[in-house]
Amino acid sequence: MSVAVNSSQANIVLRSAITDVTQNSWVPNSLQSKQIEDVILGTHLTYRYILTTGLIAKATNESCNAVTLQAGSSLQGAYDARSICHGVLVPIERELLGGRLGESNEPFLNKPARYPELSTSNAVRRGNDARLLETTISVLSSLTSSEHAYQCLKDCVYYIFQRKSRNLSDYLTSNDSSLQQTSLIRFADELLSQSFEGETCALLVGATYNAMGLAQSRNFDVKVHKVNQAGSSSKEVSDVDVYENGILIHTIEVKDKTFTLEDVQHAINKAVMSGSKSLVFAVGPRGSLQGSSWAELTQWWSQRGVNLYFVNVLEHFVSTLSSVPSIDIRSVLEVINYHADQSKIKDDTFEHLVQCSKAVMS
């Protein structure tokens, strides 16, 4: 028989645990502390979310079975873990936990969370992943009461805070927002000094179009997608898509490596299929077109009714900044942080972003 876990109460429970840990010098003391540490500081994002969600649920409703993942499980006390994770944990992770669990929008769509309940018979890679599954089961199956679960939840929150924050503002000590545009240009140049498979270019292109919207007093909705995965969703056209009032107005392909005529053709096909007859290729410092020149290709596609533009990523950013002379450096960093969150950049990319931001704000 399934049970309900009230989302509003779960929200209160998690916020209370965070307050207890951050304001009362909490030291982990549950019998499961070491196992919780192994999962939360471990390498598997999904099990971090599963463990934390199970602890929240059990601390909220003692009758729930924290090992279950779906209300349709045949186990007594089954509950809908996905709704608690996506409705409670994910937004609070962004608000109060600095994205430290992994910044996943929908972690329960990942395969380990798509079973009715946790079980060692669930398909999992041998080695580390199998060990983390077993550890997660061990912790959640050992919970004896809501009080016990809450104690473990506080240990869990403690270890979450041991992970690196994914909020840029947590690393910046200066509040000076009046730095000159030359500082922003220096930041952009340093950001692009490393590619990380085009992730840094995509972040800067996203910020460029946010600044463009500001310069034109228009409300641009800029979406930076995970690199090399544009078009994987019906909502994605290119690496960066710009909407206004729900209408696609700019679509930008980002290249920070050698690309070919076939790559251009493929990107244009996606743009045309989305209803656009215009496409921008934003080319980073390591990007180069093989087999033609920008001018030749622009003219060739123009004759076929497609407006194709090539821009240099850094130059495009700099020229756009000149249209917004009073731009606030912190607002630019916040926008880039938002795009980093939404596009799920790699940890190494985020660490590089932090170092570039620290340098310009020091």
Query: Which pLDDT tens digit goes with each residue over 180-206?
Result: 678 889 999 999 999 999 999 999 999
pLDDT of residue 119: 95
CA distances from residue 59 to 53, 107, 150, 151 in whole angstroms, order as listed = 10, 21, 5, 9
Residue 174 confidence class, pLDDT cut points 50, 70, 90: low
Distance CA 79, CA 100 (A): 25
- pLDDT at 28 > cutoff 80: yes
pLDDT at 231 over 70: no
Q: Which of 62-71, 232-241, 345-354 tops mean pLDDT?
A: 62-71
Q: Mean pLDDT over residues 83-98, rounded? A: 96
Q: Is residue 66 a contact partner of residue 54, using CB atoms and an 8 Å limit?
A: yes
Average pLDDT over residues 130-139: 97
Q: Which residue has the tokens 């995509």?
A: 202
- Give the mean model confidence (pLDDT) for residues 50-69: 98
CA dihedral of 200, 202, 204, 209, whole degrees rounded to 10: -170
Would you give the distance in Å from CA 180 to the centre of its chain? 29
pLDDT confidence of residue 125: 84
Tokens of residue 45, six digits: 């994002």
HEC secondary structure over the chain: CECCCCHHHHHHHHHHHHHHHHHCCCCCCCCCHHHHHHHHCCCCHHHHHHHHHHHHHHHHCCCCCCCECCCCCCCCCECCHHHHHHHHHHHHHHHHCCCCCCCCCCHHHCHHHCCCECCCCCCCCCCHHHHHHHHHHHHHHCCCCHHHHHHHHHHHHHHHCCCCCCCHHHHCCCCCCCCCHHHHHHHHHHHCCCCCCCHHHHHHHHHHHHHHHHHCCCCCEEEECCCCCCCCCCCCCCCEEEEECCEEEEEEEEECCEECHHHHHHHHHHHHHCCCCEEEEEECCCCEECCCCHHHHHHHHHCCCCEEEEEEHHHHHHHHHCCCCCCCHHHHHHHHHHHHHHCCCCHHHHHHHHHHHHHHHC
pLDDT band at 175 (very low <50, low <70, confident <90, very high): low
Round to whole Å and give the CA distance between 248 and 234: 13
Select from 3.30.420, 3.40.50, 3.40.1350, 1.10.10 the CATH code of 168-361: 3.40.1350
Rounded to whole angstroms, the Cα distance separating 141 from 284 reads 51
Confidence of residue 96 (pLDDT cuts 50, 70, 90): very high
Averaged pLDDT for residues 51-70: 98
Residues in the chain: 362
The domain ranges of the chain are: 7-160, 168-361
**CA torsion 154→159→165→169, rounded to 10°?**
50
Which among 7, 20, 15 is positioned nearest to 57, based on CA atoms? Answer: 7
Return the pLDDT at 169. 82
Mean pLDDT computed over every residue of the chain: 92
pLDDT tens for residues 138-152? 999 999 999 999 999
Of 61-65, 269-273, 284-288, the one with minimum mean pLDDT is: 269-273
- The predicted structure's pLDDT at residue 177: 55
Q: How large is the average pLDDT for residues 124-144?
A: 94
Q: What is the mean pLDDT of residues 159-178?
A: 80
Q: In Å, what is the CA distance from 358 to each residue of 138, 306, 353?
A: 41, 42, 9
What are 303-359's pLDDT values in tens digits?
999 999 999 999 999 999 888 877 778 889 999 999 998 898 988 999 999 999 988
Q: What pLDDT, on the 0 to 100 scale, is given for residue 170?
A: 83
What's the CA gap between 350 and 331, in Å, rounded? Answer: 17
